[in-house]
Each structure stands twice: as C-alpha cells, then as structure tokens.
Amino acid sequence: MRHRKVGRKFGRTSAQRKSLFRNQTTALLKHGQIKTTLAKAKELRRFAEPVITLGRKHAWSKYEGLATELASALTGMESAFSSASEDAQKAYAIVVESNSKVVNRFPSGLGLLIKVSKSVEGVADQLAVLHRVRTAQMARQQAIGQATSMITESAIVEKLFGELGEQFVDRNGGYTRVVKAGNRDGDNAPMAYIALVNESVDSDTSLEDVEVSDAE
C-alpha cells in the first residue's frame, strides 16, 4: 500500500525530479504547451498550477488601486518633508524618484521612508498608506521568490506575474489541460500534450510540438 506517498517517482531522486519539473514548468509557461509522456504531463500539473496561482493572486491589476493611493500619499507628504531633516528628505526623494520610474511594481526605499516618517509631523494618514503598500510589496516579493524556485528563467518569472497573471486573474484553478498524443516510437510510451487552457487544444495538430526531453 502507498499510504501518504503522493506523486510518481519516475526512477529518480527527489533532486532529479525537482530539476525535471522545474525545466518542464519553465517550458510550459514559456511556450504555452509542451509534449512529454502522459505520466509526466499529469504529474506536472501538481507543480505548474500552484506556480500559476502565485502569478494570478499577485497580478499587478490587484495592486493598481494601492499604487494610486501611494502616489497620492507621496504628493501629500511633500510639504511636510520640505522642512524635515536632511536624511528624511533624502529617503523621501529616493522613493519619489523610484516610483516615477518603476512599472507594474512598487518603488524601492519604502522601509526607510516609513522609519523616518515616524518623526515627521502631519503625515499620519500617509504613513498608514505606506504601511499597507509595504505589506503588499513584501507579500508580492515573497510570491516572486517562491515562483523563482520553480522557474529557471527570470524572463518567465516576469511573464508569470505579468501577462499570464492577468490572463488567469479571474480563474480559480484549472489552468492546464492534458491531451493524449498517441504512443512514442521505440518504447511505445503513452505521450501527451499539456497546455495552458488559453491555448487551442481542440486537436493534436493545433498544438505547437514543443517536446521536453525525458532525460532532463
């Protein structure tokens, strides 16, 4: 019996399995679909879908309102910081400059700005906004870190929290589907395509034949 033994082993060590599914998860998110054995395609869903959930839950559209609040708060703090200490003014300037440059992310320097703002009078309301933004920023950074542990290319991490996150933002699970693709020549192993649900999967011929080596 296999009580409390979840997942297929594929004759590999845990490190080898992790490497295999990191490569396949990256390829799936990069191409939208890959071809592998049926057993690996089914197992890959256990690794790929939680990663996509991270991208969906932390898609930038969920933070746009908070980003707007931050911009207003920084504007409202300008006069108070004009008479603050030199260090406080420098911390404020760093965040304002960073916020003007970043796209689809929060600015750097928020932690220091929160710290120095505690000694500046007249910014209590804006400080509450900074705390909320900093909490959201840390949660998103943690999610990106978790996704990075399962994705081998930084560009695909960006895609996950950008394009893919927005595509699945209103979908609560079920991001992939598996389509059987006959048997492999040689060992007759059952093959399959695993594809993101926004890809065309009406027939095998509609899927891009991106095959990931089973030796990975």
pLDDT tens, residue by residue, 43-93: 999 999 999 999 999 999 999 999 999 999 999 999 999 999 999 999 999
pLDDT (average), residues 110-124: 95
Q: What is the mean pLDDT of the chain?
A: 89
Which helix (H) or strand (E) segment holds residue 63: the answer is none
Question: For the ranges 5-14, 126-135, 197-206, which has the lowest average pLDDT?
Answer: 197-206
Q: Measure the CA angle with vertex 156, ends 154 and 162; round to 5°.
A: 110
- 79-88 confidence digits (pLDDT tens): 999 999 999 9
pLDDT digits (tens, 9 = 90+) for 2-40: 676 666 777 778 899 899 999 999 999 999 999 999 999
Residue type, 202: D
Q: Could you give the CA distance from residue 208 to residue 195 in angstroms, rounded to a whole number?
A: 10
Give me the half-sphere count of Cα atoms (radius 13 Å) on the Cβ side of residue 201. Answer: 19
Predicted local distance difference test score (pLDDT) of residue 13: 86
The owner of tokens 């059952």 is 190
Q: How far apart are CA 54 and CA 45, in angstroms?
A: 14
Q: What is the percent of the chain where pLDDT is above 90? A: 81
Query: What CA–CA distance (Å, rounded) separates 144 from 51?
Result: 9
pLDDT at 216: 47
Phi, psi of 74 (to 5 degrees): -65, -40
In contact, 44 and 195? CB cutoff 8 Å = no
Region of residue 201 (phi > 0: left; psi between -120 and 50: alpha; otherwise: beta): alpha
